Amino acid sequence: MRSLLEDPGVLKVGHDVKSAAHLLSRYGVQLAPYDCTMLMSYVVDGGQFEHAIEEVVRRSFEYELTPLKQLVGTGKSLIAFAEVPPEAARDFVAERADAALRLHMLLKARLVATG
């Protein structure tokens, strides 16, 4: 994965990628290039709204992402994400990856349009 994550010819797209890049740097992986939809949302909408992926998707597409709490529970019933059944974890992560890609297309166009 390191060669893909560091490949300058492959744009990585995600939400809150800055955190992931920081985490990966602890292991010597230099994530680049990347576009972060959280940062893009902040640039185009500033302090008007929250920039969590759930909020940006709700605002942009009128769609509700599956909440993490639905998978891992809360309080005494809270489990680690590693304990979530693989199919449910796959679907959760795939939904968020799809949302990030759709947000990227929308927010990139807004950034270009506004200069």
Residue type (1 letter), 50: E
Structural domain total, the chain: 1
How many angstroms separate the CA atoms of 49 and 59, rounded? 9
32-71 pLDDT tens trace: 999 999 999 999 998 888 999 999 999 999 999 999 999 9
- Give me the mean pLDDT over the 71-99 stretch: 97
How far apart are alpha carbons 44 and 86 in whole angstroms? 36
Q: What percent of the chain has pLDDT over 90?
A: 94
> What amino acid is encoded at 12 in this protein?
K
- Does the reported pTM lie above 0.85? yes
**Are 66 and 57 in contact, with CB atoms under 8 Å apart?**
no
Check which CATH number belongs to the domain holding 28 and give it: 3.30.420.10
User: What is the structure's pLDDT at 92?
Assistant: 98
For residue 34, give the DSSP letter.
E
Per-residue confidence (pLDDT) for residue 55, from 0 to 100 = 96
Give the chain's largest Cα–Cα span.
49
* pLDDT of 115 over the 90 cut: no
What is the arithmetic mean of pLDDT over 79-98?
Answer: 97
The residue type at 77: S
Q: What is the CA angle 33-38-42, rounded to 5?
A: 115
What is the residue range of 98's domain?
2-114
For residue 42, give the 3-state DSSP assignment.
helix
